[in-house]
Amino acid sequence: MASWQRPQATARAIAQASTSMQASGNASANAKAISTAEIGEALASHAISTGQPVLKQGRARGGRRALRSSKGTARAHAL
């Protein structure tokens, strides 16, 4: 039932990346962009490895593009 959910390691990586994004604030837009890309990569690679979508509510329409946009990651964090 929970096979589509992201594993603990991925969740931990997302938590660390979001924390670093909050800590950097607006001081470094580049670091924020890198963190967002890393989150997108983690979610996308998990979806590919399991063959299941990570977000079940149709929030990630557009696939990787939606995950990499700031709106996509904000929605991923909100779950």
Residue 6 carries which DSSP code? P
Domain that holds residue 42: 8-78
- Judge whether 3 lies within some domain: no
Tell me which of 16 and 59 has the higher pLDDT.
16
Whether the predicted pLDDT of 1 surpasses 50: no
The answer to whether 42 touches 68, Cβ cutoff 8 Å, is no
For residue 40, the model assigns a pLDDT of 74
pLDDT tens digits, 8-53 = 666 676 666 666 555 555 555 555 666 676 777 777 776 666 666 5
On whether residue 37 sits in a domain, the answer given is yes
DSSP letters of 10-78?
HHHHHHHHHHHHHHHTTS-HHHHHHHHHHHHHHHHHHHHHHTS-S-TTSTTTTTHHHHHSHHHHHHHHH
Q: Decide if pLDDT at 60 tops 50.
A: no
CB 40 within 8 A of CB 48: no
Domains: count for the chain: 1
Instruction: Give the Cα-Cα-Cα angle 50, 53, 56 (nearest 5 degrees).
Output: 135
Predicted model pTM = 0.23
Q: Is residue 2 part of a domain?
A: no
Residue 1 belongs to some domain of the structure: no
**pLDDT band at residue 71 under the 50/70/90 scheme:** low
